[in-house]
Each structure stands twice: as structure tokens, then as C-alpha cells.
């Protein structure tokens, strides 16, 4: 169907795993990556884990000439290049908007106006576009789509989601793609922009586009020294340095954690599936896991059960309580997650045990406090 695929951000965590899978399936692969220092440290050449069987272009998605060069001769694009991290996005507003929103706009502009023969674009979106997940009101079973919990409630350490009409505690349920999108951070808004720009341009210009709403991804190559990456890597870094995982609220907030191998498997499935077009798909497990449970599972793997999570009971601006995915739409096409959380975390541990990790969590926490984005 396709011969050569461009992976933007292909030297990064998810992108590099996508590269490996594409190569294994016989595709020619070109990678465009700017080797972002926050992710890679100060390096001038691609990381050692990136396959040598690819063509590497160092550059930025904001550079039109570089994009044109990278797209030349490709017939599909996997667009993974983005700034990641909810907390940091709340003050690096311009940077996140520029890289994520305008970088995607630049990519689409080049494809459309240079009349490039791109047959498929696979766009990396995020579960963060939902804001809070879907809930049920216990008294009558009605579905509820709440926004953010008020600060006045959180100030009392009352962290659960209450119904606005009855004040009863709402029960979380799997979140489908049909749930209204309520972005609660600059990062979420930029991912929504990426998704919607792509789908709008896809419809207008007959460009085949599919958006992938990743839930909480973990696995090897996720930066252990970036305090704004996923919690599995952040907790692993803390534990490797002998520090207890730092958790906001009461630790009972829940997410849908998915192995990076499942993520790229789903992306390849969607790239190759002709029935997946001009839609967004959850890539998730459908399993809800609390943040505190994740911390304890990782501490056990490291043999550090003594490092009980440090639950600070303060809260971050824009944080949500519960969100786990409904995998039905993708399952109806023929793909399901196969990697159990316990097996995936073992795989992460086996890799992380051989890695250096700089624990920057305290510094990141202090920065958020200084900016008024963590409240007690």
C-alpha cells in the first residue's frame, strides 16, 4: 500500500518504536527529528537505539524547507513530533502552541500546497483532549460529562467528581470517542488543534487522515530524566534515585496505562486499514489503574517497597480525576490491546535498570508552585 514512510519525532519515545515496527514490516523509513534537549539531552547525532536502517533528517517541523525535503518521495506520514507534558504547557504557552499547533499546520500546508502525493497521515493525538472522562450518576444511571472540579472543593481535599445537580459522587466509566472534548491544559488544547486541523484539511483536500488518541503510554526509551513525561518514567526515575514517588491529590486518581508496543501496533493497523479514515480512535486498554497503584507496582519491581508514595494532597491546575478509555471503536475494526500492565511494567523495568536517570521532579514541582500552578 505504501513504500516510504516519514516519521516526524521518530527519534523520540513513541516515534522510535514506530520506526522499528515499520522497518520490521518492510517499509522504507525516513525520520525527521530536532533532537529536543529536554528529551535527549545535549546530543548532536541520533540516539543509539534508533535503527541505522533509516534515513535521518535533523530539523524542525516549523521549518518549511526542511519539511519539504523530509516529505520528498514519501507516500505516508506518521506525525509524532510534539512538545509533551501537561504541567509545563501551562506556562510555556507559546512554545507548546508553536510546536504542536503551528508545526502541524506547517506540515499540512506543505502537503496540500506543494501537491505532494501523500496517501495517508497518521496523527498523534491524546486522551487529554477529553479533559475529565465519562461518568455515570449513580441515582439514575445518566451519563455525565463534567468539566473541572472547583478549587473550593479541592481546597478541602475533596478530590472526587461530584454531580453538579445532586452533589453525589460520580462513578467513572470507559470514555468513548463520542464524549465532548473539554481541554483543561494548553497541552490538551494543542493536541486537539493537531487532531482537528488534520481532519478538517483531510476532508477539504481529500487527504486520508486518521487521529490516534493515545492514553497514558509507558515503556522503554521514555526519558527517565524529563520530569514532564509520563508518570511511569517519572516514578521509575524517582525510585532509581532512592526517592519516593511524588503524587498529587490522594493518589486514587485513575488512568488507562498502555504499553508503547501496543500503541505502535495500533498505529500501524490504522495506517494500513482502508476503513480507518477521517476519524479519531482511542488507543487504550479499557483498564483503569490508580496513580498510587502504578507507583507501588514500580517500587515492587525495583525491590523498593519501602518507598511508599509521597502523597502531598495538593493539586495541580488543570488536572483531571479519572479518565480511562473505551476501546470499542478500534476493536470493531479488528485491533485490541494485548499487553497486560504487569508484563509491560516488567519490560519497562528490565530496560530502565540499565539506564541513567536524573531525578528532576522536585525542581519541576517547585517551578509549578512558584508559578501558582500547584495549590494546597
Strand partners, 311: 247
Q: Which residue has the cell 500500500?
A: 1
Under 8 Å between Cβ of 161 and 135: yes
Under 8 Å between Cβ of 122 and 79: yes
Under 8 Å between Cβ of 143 and 136: yes
Question: How far, CA to CA in Å, does 73 sit from each of 34, 69, 103, 111, 218?
Answer: 20, 9, 20, 12, 32
Check if 218 is active-site. no
Give the angle subtended at the CA of 301 by the CAs of 298 and 305, to the nearest 5°: 75
- Residue 29: phi, psi to the nearest 5? -130, 135
- Residue 86: phi, psi to the nearest 5? -70, -50
Strands 257-259 and 374-375: unpaired
Maximum alpha-carbon separation in the chain: 59
Q: Which residue has the cell 470493531?
A: 332
Under 8 Å between Cβ of 213 and 126: yes
DSSP states of 282-318 = EE--S--EEHHHHHHHHHHHTT-TT---EE---EETT
Name the region of 21 (left: φ>0; alpha: ψ -120 to 50; beta: rest). Answer: alpha
Marked catalytic residue, from 96, 135, 187, 324 = 187
User: How far is 267 from 334, CA to CA, in rounded Å?
Assistant: 13
Active site residues: 187
Amino acid at each position: 500500500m505504501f513504500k516510504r514512510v516519514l516519521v516526524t519525532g521518530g527519534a523520540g519515545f513513541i516515534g522510535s518504536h514506530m520506526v522499528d515496527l515499520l522497518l520490521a514490516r518492510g517499509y522504507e523509513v525516513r525520520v525527521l527529528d530536532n533532537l529536543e534537549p529536554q528529551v535527549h539531552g545535549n546530543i548532536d547525532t541520533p540516539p543509539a537505539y534508533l535503527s541505522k536502517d533509516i534515513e535521518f533528517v535533523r530539523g524542525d517541523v516549523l521549518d518549511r524547507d526542511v519539511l519539504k525535503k523530509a516529505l520528498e518521495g514519501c507516500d505516508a506520514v506518521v506525525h509524532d513530533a510534539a512538545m509533551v507534558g501537561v504541567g509545563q504547557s501551562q506556562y510555556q504557552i507559546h512554545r507548546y502552541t508553536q510546536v504542536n499547533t503551528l508545526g502541524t499546520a506547517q506540515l499540512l500546508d506543505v502537503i496540500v500546497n506543494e501537491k505532494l502525493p501523500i496517501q495517508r497521515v497518521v496523527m498523534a493525538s491524546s486522551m487529554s483532549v477529553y479533559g475529565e472522562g465519562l461518568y455515570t450518576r449513580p441515582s439514575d444511571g445518566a451519563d455525565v460529562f463534567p468539566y473541572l472540579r472547583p478549587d473550593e472543593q479541592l481546597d478541602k481535599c475533596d478530590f472526587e467528581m461530584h454531580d453538579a445537580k445532586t452533589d453525589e459522587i460520580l462513578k467513572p466509566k470507559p470514555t468513548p470517542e463520542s464524549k465532548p472534548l473539554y481541554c483543561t491544559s494548553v497541552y490538551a488544547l494543542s493536541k486537539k488543534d493537531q487532531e482537528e486541523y488534520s481532519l478538517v484539511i483531510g476532508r477539504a483536500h481529500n487527504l486520508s487522515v486518521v487521529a490516534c488518541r493515545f492514553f497514558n503510554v509507558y515503556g522503554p526509551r521514555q526519558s527517565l530524566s524529563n520530569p514532564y513525561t509520563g508518570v511511569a518514567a517519572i516514578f521509575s526515575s524517582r525510585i532509581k534515585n532512592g526517592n519516593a514517588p511524588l503524587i498529587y491529590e490522594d493518589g486514587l486518581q485513575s488512568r488507562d496505562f498502555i504499553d508503547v508496543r501496543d500503541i505502535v501496533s495500533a498505529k500501524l493497523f490504522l495506517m494500513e486499514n482502508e476503513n480507518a479514515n477521517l476519524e479519531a480512535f482511542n488507543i487504550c486498554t479499557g483498564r483503569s489503574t490508580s496513580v498510587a497503584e502504578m507507583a507501588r507496582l514500580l517500587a515492587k519491581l525495583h525491590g523498593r517497597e519501602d518507598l511508599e508514595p509521597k502523597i502531598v494532597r495538593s493539586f495541580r491546575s488543570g488536572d483531571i480525576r479519572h479518565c480511562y478509555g473505551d476501546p470499542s471503536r478500534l476493536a470493531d475494526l479488528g485491533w485490541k490491546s494485548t499487553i497486560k500492565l504487569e508484563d509491560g511494567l516488567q519490560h519497562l523495568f528490565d530496560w530502565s535498570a540499565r539506564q541513567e536517570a536524573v531525578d528532576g521532579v522536585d525542581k519541576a514541582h517547585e517551578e509549578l508552585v512558584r508559578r501558582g500552578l500547584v495549590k494546597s
